[in-house]
Amino acid sequence: MSVPDGLLFTGSSVAAEAATDDLTVLRAMLTAEVAWVRAQERLGLAPAGAGDGVDRAVSLLSGSDNAAWALVVRVAREASGAANPVIPLLARLRAEVAAVAPGALAAVHAGLTSQDVLDTALVLVLRDAAATVSADLTRAAQAAQRLARTHRDDPALAVTLAQAAVPTTLGARIAVWAPGLAAAAGLLDAVGSVLPLAYGGAAGELGAVAALAGGDPFPLVEAWGDELGLPVGPGPWHTTRTPFVRVAGAFAEACAALGHVAGDVLQGTRPGVGELREPAAPGRGTSSAMPHKVNPVLSVLVRRSAIAAPALVAQVLTAAGLAVDARPDGAWHAEWPALQQLARHALVAAAAGAELLEGLHVDPEAARRNLAAALPDADGVGAAPAIVDRVLGALATRASEEGS
């Protein structure tokens, strides 16, 4: 048995894996296929019980993690022959349906094309990932606000262009993290909630779907969206990649907002600074060479993703700009791993960022000492406390408006 790559190097918390791993994607494809049969059944286009029958086949194929994982490996092997994983997956699904629910066989994937299923599966995965990332960003933003409030008046050094600048407060230095985190959360909510069902049939003309539906294809398409809880846009977006461009941008914005925090934390933890310290956890941050050392691994993981994510967005945008015909000849395929990894980076970074900020230790004494050392004659803290108030006030207003 051979195994995939990527886990060792981007893997992190269980939640992050669960939200974007190949197993999740595989199951999302099967979920889309089942829902399509249920939609047909609802409209009387498939025999009663067909949806349940296909669902049973899916359970047999992928209900246990071990079976599902083996299926991932098998499908991945065969995917190169089709340049996409839907086709080999479908072959196995059909074989299973033929065995356990033969009456449903004709309805499986009827009228669909691979892209309908793969894009819809990615939408399901990315929607859930967006919601998780947004929740973690919100936790992080709230923690930043609490810290800013607590340290609103604690004098600290402001550094610009790597040099001592003027006095400010710890609160003002921390307060600027929150709007970026909150904005990224808001964008993910906005973008994630409108990620639409992908449909279009063979070439975006819905020919086979219309034939299946006996005329108007849209009631069936709408029923599919309804089964999956996905909005149905006005037309196919096989080559109009706005939804994926938007969600990719939102994940990258999340990584950037978190990277801003991590960069400041890392500077604050350096020797000779010592103003900030990551929350401890058993075994976390150990070094293979220096047992006494505790590394700021949450910040490191976040910064890693802030460095890695931008290029992944560029991949998605490049692919979007090269979309052509009714299905692109390579640009579509380049989107998949980029989206999967972007979501993964955002998930890991947001989880780490939330934990980092919720447990961040701030040392006002060290800050005061560093300020005095760098600017012995400095006086006051500018308007730093007023800025903290204004930023926190605006975020509170926005949160209460959104909550109402």
Query: Tokens for 391?
Result: 């930023």
| Torsion angles phi and psi, residue 165, rounded to 5 | -110, -80
Mark the segment that binds a second copy (CB under 8 A) among 35-43, 51-59, 133-141, 282-290: 282-290
| Residue 80 annotated among the catalytic residues of the structure | no
Q: What is the residue whose two structure tokens read 């340049």?
A: 83
> DSSP class of residue 103?
G
User: Using CB under 8 A, which of 224, 241, 350, 354 touches a second copy?
Assistant: 241
- The DSSP element (H or E) to which 131 belongs, if any, is helix 114-150
- 382 contacts a second copy (rule: CB under 8 A): yes
In order, the DSSP letters of 61-88 are: HHSSHHHHHHHHHHHHHHHHHHTSSHHH
Footprint of a second copy on 190-229 (CB under 8 A): 201-210, 216-218
C-beta of 48 vs 77, nearer to a second copy: 77
- 310 contacts a second copy (rule: CB under 8 A): yes
**Angle CA 164–168–174, to nearest 5:** 105
3-class DSSP string for 182-213: HHHHHHHHHHHCCCCCCCCHHHCCCHHHHHHH
Minimum CB separation from a second copy for residue 402, in Å? 16
User: Using CB under 8 A, which of 131, 256, 372, 399 touches a second copy?
Assistant: 256
Minimum CB separation from a second copy for residue 100, in Å? 21
Bridge partners of residue 169, in order along the sequence: 155
Mark the segment that binds a second copy (CB under 8 A) among 43-51, 99-107, 135-143, 235-243: 235-243
Minimum CB separation from a second copy for residue 166, in Å? 5
Neighbour-count burial of 41, counting CB atoms closer than 10 A to its CB (0-12 exposed, 13-18 middle, 19+ buried):
buried
Nearest Cα neighbor of 268 from 396, 183, 158 is: 158
| Residue 114 annotated among the catalytic residues of the structure | no
- 176 contacts a second copy (rule: CB under 8 A): yes
Mark the segment that binds a second copy (CB under 8 A) among 38-46, 95-103, 222-230, 254-262: 254-262
List 64, 80, 193, 287, catalytic entry: 287
Sequence-distant (6+) residues with CB within 8 A of 341 are: 6, 10, 308, 312
- 370 contacts a second copy (rule: CB under 8 A): yes
C-beta of 52 vs 375, nearer to a second copy: 375
Footprint of a second copy on 341-360 (CB under 8 A): 341, 344, 348, 352
Minimum CB separation from a second copy for residue 174, in Å? 11
- 167 contacts a second copy (rule: CB under 8 A): yes
Per the CB < 8 A criterion, the answer to whether 181 and 137 are in contact is: yes
C-beta of 5 vs 401, nearer to a second copy: 5
- 189 contacts a second copy (rule: CB under 8 A): no
Nearest Cα neighbor of 144 from 184, 181, 188, 186 is: 181
Binding mask 110-149 for a second copy (x = CB under 8 A): -xxxx--x--------------------------------
Neighbour-count burial of 270, counting CB atoms closer than 10 A to its CB (0-12 exposed, 13-18 middle, 19+ buried):
exposed
Footprint of a second copy on 7-46 (CB under 8 A): 7-14, 17-18, 20-26
List 127, 303, 304, 327, catalytic entry: 327
Nearest Cα neighbor of 179 from 356, 395, 388, 350 is: 395
- 391 contacts a second copy (rule: CB under 8 A): yes
CA dihedral 306, 309, 310, 315 (to 10 degrees): 170
Strands 276-277 and 163-169 turn out to be unpaired
User: Using CB under 8 A, which of 98, 214, 330, 402 touches a second copy?
Assistant: 330
User: How far does the chain reach from its first CA to its final CA, in angstroms?
Assistant: 53
Minimum CB separation from a second copy for residue 3, in Å? 5
Mark the segment that binds a second copy (CB under 8 A) among 35-43, 45-53, 54-62, 389-397: 389-397
Footprint of a second copy on 47-106 (CB under 8 A): 65-66, 68-69, 72-73, 75-77, 79-83, 85-87, 90
> What is the Cα–Cα distance from 208 to 193, expressed in whole angstroms?
29
User: Using CB under 8 A, which of 48, 98, 240, 365 touches a second copy?
Assistant: 240
User: Using CB under 8 A, which of 137, 228, 309, 367 touches a second copy?
Assistant: 309
Q: Which amino acid is at 400?
A: S
Q: How many residues bind a second copy (CB under 8 A)?
A: 185
* Active site residue ranges: 287, 327
